[in-house]
Amino acid sequence: MKNKLYPLKFKPILKDKIWGGTKLTEQFNKPSDSNQLGESWEISTVPGDISEVVNGEFKTQNLQDLLELYRGELIGEKNYERFGNDFPLLIKFIDAKQDLSIQLHPDDDLAKERHNSFGKTEMWYVMQADKDANLIVGFNQKMNDKTYLKHLEEKTLTEILNFDNVKAGDTYFIEAGRVHAIGAGVLLAEIQQTSDVTYRVYDWDRVDDHGNERELHNDIAIDAFKFDLKDDFRVNYSREKNVSNKMISCPFFTTNFIDLDSNLEKKNIHDSFLIYMCVDGKVEVVAEDSKEIISKGETILIPASVKHFKLNSHSAKLLEVYV
């Protein structure tokens, strides 16, 4: 007989990056001595980086094994029909001490053909930003492949890119095919399709400790660009207290914003798992036989079979995610 599913917390998978810093450790208490900690993968089934449970009866078991055992009970029956044993989302916190490379991601069709992977549509929620910190999303003018390639060749790419100064709470939706980069000084939450495929087109001419530049992918990136994308990447959303405020709804995920200042009873009306990312404060998640606290910079997964639970907090901000 299978044990009953309950809200799951996972061990963060920590990734040092050439552009990483120390905010994930200093602000979220991620266990690392590195001064180049760039990413904390909170929920992942990317091969080689599969999340391990840290609470309850399933402690030390991994998400992939639980998915294969519990199937629709874990992710929802319709989701299991659609995705099978492939968990559809990758959940991260990212600290950019330096600018990330200018990059884009292939869509589902191209990623499947080339990499046997999902594509990568994603969103960002800015949790903290240093003064004058910015993001690059899209172009600042009408674009086509010929003009883009001319600027790439002449190393004037930044002249045609859209730079946005950002502050905490700013949210961006980045479809596959849209050029983007996280700027220095930005700490954010990222929700994305399960994909680790990135096409890097410019890396600021920087080199690593051995004097080597990172690989660029311009020969294959050009096919992934969607030059006709509109200026619709900034997300406006309501911040009404103690309700799920819709931020983004796309074929790959739905994300809501919850600003809690009192206890909230929740009913999972979706045939889906729910993920809560705590982006400020802390909250107690109470299900039948389970109580877990998540603080700023932590994440919890509510299996689809858990239909009723409570979010108890006097002060917390949450991203609520489902498929």
The CATH number that applies at residue 17 is 2.60.120.10
CA distances from 192 to 91, 115, 127, 143 (A): 7, 17, 17, 25
Is a pLDDT exceeding 70 seen at residue 280?
yes
182 and 256 assigned to the same domain? no
Q: What is residue 207's predicted lDDT score, i.e. its pLDDT?
A: 83
229 pLDDT band, cuts 50/70/90, is: low
Same domain? For 199 and 57 the reply is yes
Q: What is the mean pLDDT of residues 97-106?
A: 97
What is the pLDDT averaged over residues 224-253?
A: 93
Whether residue 143 lies inside any domain: the answer is yes
111 and 260, same domain (yes or no): no
Residue 180 structural domain: 13-221
User: Same domain, yes or no, for 183 and 288?
Assistant: no
Yes or no: say if 267 and 277 are a contact pair by the CB < 8 Å rule: no
The number of domains in the chain is 2
Could you tell me if 44 and 179 lie in one domain?
yes
CB 140 within 8 A of CB 161: yes
> Could you tell me the sign of the dihedral formed by the alpha carbons of 317, 94, 186, 144, in that order?
negative
Residues 273 and 306 in one domain: yes
Q: H or E segment at 26? A: helix 23-28
Rounded CA-CA distance 304/171 in Å is 26
User: Which residue's entry shows tokens 């600021």?
Assistant: 204
Distance CA 166, CA 77 (A): 38
Q: Does residue 7 lie in a domain region?
A: no
196 and 260 share a domain?
Answer: no
For residue 174, what are the β-bridge partners? Answer: 122
Identify any residues that bridge with 1 across adjacent strands, giving them in sequence order.
Answer: none
Looking at the structure, tell me whether residues 112 and 190 fall in a common domain: yes
Q: Would 35 be classed as within a structural domain?
A: yes
216 and 255 assigned to the same domain: no
User: Is residue 276 a part of any domain in this protein?
Assistant: yes
Do residues 188 and 291 both lie within one domain?
Answer: no
Sign of the Cα torsion 7, 13, 18, 20 reads positive
Q: Clarify whether residues 285 and 164 are in a common domain.
A: no
Considering the domain boundaries, does residue 127 fall inside one?
yes
**Average pLDDT over the chain, rounded to whole?**
96
Average pLDDT score over residue span 183-187? 98
The pTM assigned to this predicted structure is 0.96
**Coil, strand, or helix at residue 72?**
helix
Identify the band that residue 90 occupies on the pLDDT scale cut at 50, 70 and 90.
very high
Coil, strand or helix: which one is 120?
coil
Q: Are 182 and 135 in contact (CB under 8 A)?
A: yes
The verdict on 284 and 199 lying in the same domain is: no
172 part of a folded domain: yes
